[in-house]
């Protein structure tokens, strides 16, 4: 059987348990699994991630610093096959006259994609093989290393520290508010980084499972890409193509869960009615509408849902859904070029916001606020926003996660700091147990 199953062939029903497949995948140098957490997350417009597992690399694309020309050359290469991987935030530099000169703690490449040897999918209680020979997978996985045995902890993490103090954070928020008052921008997503410099993830997937149990999300994912690991509990979809339809679902607006059902409903209502949160969300909706119009058919941009409130285990989020019809010739890279980076992680106007992000943030974002996802042989795709995500460079034994919030003129520095800590809580709690 060939590595790439013909798209017209019915998927092969496998007599393997999903958990056994996940266990067997860990010894391969490249693997990526998406976790929709169907029973733990709210019903999402256009669904969640598919439950996919990609293992092994027939072909890889690894570009340290990508250019527009390199992306253009990849169009035909990405067609007609499964591809999985990560696009870094700093790919923005290939699309606009921008740069990324801040400290690069993790030294991650701009682009890391792989064409897998095997693709499996869980549908309910059944498992299907979509690409490759499953018997060959088991034969090869038996020769690979699996998870460490015994009682070895999944991680040993050194001191976790923030690159920005609360005092410096609040001072920077005031400076950004001054930029807004001067008419430079309307809104900017300002992020900070938490680091550990002596981190040893003995079993990264076990650590991901703990994170996923504490903070289940519809666009969660675990990836091993050579020496690089991604442990993502992302609530946000960047973009999805299904047939001729392209949709984007930016999140702007966050509130913690209440302690009682009555308090929880009050919090939910306050988030929905908050003028500040609605204004932030509306700015990004307008930005996304403009981005989608650059790649879609004229006059087909539609706001399908505005200010939707979705409840997760630890917080409520305000989510809007915007869609557009695509011309037949539009490729994944065409859609990426028109819309990346996502407006929810930049600000408005987008280019000036990205310039000020580089000025006011102290760290290079790297894969944070980039995207993780997959492309199908038919040309459909689904990509998340890499937030609420732990990144690990095994070669350097360095670990990092970043959090941020949208700064508008009405922003309270103290409240924005509290929102950052709320978003960081699940990741910090999971790692703190192994400091």
Block residue for tokens 């350097």: 396
Confidence of residue 172 (pLDDT cuts 50, 70, 90): very high
Block residue for tokens 């598919």: 50
User: pLDDT above 90 covers what percent of the chain?
Assistant: 89
Task: Specify the 3-state DSSP secondary structure of 240.
Answer: strand
What are the helix and strand counts (H, E) for the chain?
11, 22
Other Cβ atoms less than 10 A from the Cβ of 150: the count is: 4
| Segment 317-372, tens digit of pLDDT | 999 999 999 999 999 999 999 999 999 999 999 999 999 999 999 999 999 999 99
Cα distance from N-terminal residue to C-terminal residue, the chain: 47
Mean pLDDT of 65-89: 95
Task: Please report, to the nearest 10 degrees, the dihedral formed by the alpha carbons of residues 99, 101, 107, 108 taken in order.
Answer: -20
Q: What pLDDT is recorded for position 433?
A: 87
How is residue 54 annotated by DSSP?
E
d(CA 315, CA 254): 7
d(CA 181, CA 174): 10
- Cross-strand partners of 309: 318
d(CA 294, CA 241): 15
Q: Which residues are catalytic?
A: 236, 252
In sequence order, the 6+-apart residues with CB closer than 8 A to the CB of 215 are: 233, 312, 313, 314, 388, 426, 427
- Using only the alpha carbons of the chain, give its radius of gyration: 21
d(CA 184, CA 394): 40
Other Cβ atoms less than 10 A from the Cβ of 20: the count is: 12
- DSSP code string of 103-160: B-SS---SEEEEE-SEEEEEETTEEEEEES-HHHHHHHHTTS--SPPTT--S-B----
User: pLDDT above 70 covers what percent of the chain?
Assistant: 96
| Segment 224-262, tens digit of pLDDT | 999 999 999 999 999 999 999 999 999 999 999 999 999
- Cross-strand partners of 219: 234
Mean pLDDT of 375-385: 98
CA-based diameter of the chain, in Å?
A: 64
SS (H, E, C) 381-417: EEEECCCCEEEEECCCCEEEEEEEEEECCCCCHHHHH
Do you know the residue count of the chain? 435
In order of their start, the domains of the chain are 12-145+153-432 (3.60.120.10)
- Cross-strand partners of 373: 85, 383
Confidence of residue 16 (pLDDT cuts 50, 70, 90): confident
Q: What pLDDT is recorded for position 147?
A: 54
Is pLDDT above 50 for 2? no
Of 376, 361, 122, 339, whose CA–CA distance to 248 is shortest?
A: 339
d(CA 106, CA 370): 14
How is residue 181 annotated by DSSP?
H
| Segment 120-148, tens digit of pLDDT | 999 999 999 999 998 899 888 766 655 55
Cβ atoms of 319 and 151 within 8 Å: the answer is: no
Is pLDDT above 80 for 149? no
From residue 205, alpha-carbon distances to 38, 85, 193, 224, 270 in Å are 19, 17, 22, 9, 37
């Amino acid at each position: 059987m060939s590595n790439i199953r013909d798209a017209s062939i019915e998927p092969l029903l496998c007599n393997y348990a999903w958990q056994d497949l996940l266990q067997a995948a860990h010894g391969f140098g490249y693997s990526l699994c998406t976790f929709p957490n169907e029973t733990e997350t709210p019903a999402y417009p256009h669904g969640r991630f598919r439950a996919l597992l990609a293992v092994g690399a027939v072909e890889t694309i690894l570009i340290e610093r990508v250019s527009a020309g390199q992306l253009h050359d990849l169009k035909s290469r990405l067609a007609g096959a499964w591809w999985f991987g990560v696009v870094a935030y700093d790919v923005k530099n290939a699309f606009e006259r921008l740069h990324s000169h801040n400290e690069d703690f993790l030294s991650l490449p701009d682009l890391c994609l792989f064409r897998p040897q095997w693709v499996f999918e869980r549908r309910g209680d059944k498992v299907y093989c979509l690409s490759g020979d499953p018997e060959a997978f088991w034969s090869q996985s038996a020769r690979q290393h699996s998870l460490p045995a015994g009682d070895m902890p999944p991680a040993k993490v050194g001191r976790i520290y923030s690159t920005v103090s609360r005092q410096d954070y609040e001072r920077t928020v005031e400076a950004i508010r001054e930029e807004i008052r001067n008419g430079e921008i309307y809104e900017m997503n300002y992020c900070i980084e938490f680091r550990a410099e002596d981190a040893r993830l003995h079993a990264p997937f076990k650590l991901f499972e703990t994170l996923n149990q504490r903070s289940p999300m519809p666009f969660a994912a675990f990836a091993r890409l050579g020496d690089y690991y991604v442990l993502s509990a992302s609530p946000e979809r960047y973009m999805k193509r299904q047939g001729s339809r392209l949709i984007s679902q930016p999140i702007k607006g966050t509130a913690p869960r209440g302690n009682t059902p009555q308090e929880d409903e009050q919090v939910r209502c306050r988030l929905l009615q908050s003028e500040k949160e609605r204004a932030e969300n509306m700015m990004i909706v307008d930005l996304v509408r403009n981005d989608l119009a650059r790649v879609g058919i004229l006059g087909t941009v539609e706001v399908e849902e505005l200010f939707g409130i979705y409840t997760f285990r630890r917080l409520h989020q305000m989510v809007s859904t915007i869609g557009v019809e695509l011309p037949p010739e539009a490729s994944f890279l065409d859609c990426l070029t028109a819309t990346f980076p996502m407006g929810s992680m930049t600000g408005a106007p987008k280019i000036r916001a990205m310039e000020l992000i580089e000025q006011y943030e102290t760290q290079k974002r790297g894969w944070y606020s980039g995207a993780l996802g997959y492309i199908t042989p038919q040309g459909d795709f689904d990509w998340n926003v890499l937030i609420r995500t732990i990144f690990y460079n095994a070669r350097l034994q360095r670990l990092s996660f970043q959090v941020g919030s949208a700064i508008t003129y009405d922003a309270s520095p103290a409240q924005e700091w509290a929102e950052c800590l709320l978003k960081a809580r699940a990741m910090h709690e999971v790692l703190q147990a192994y400091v």
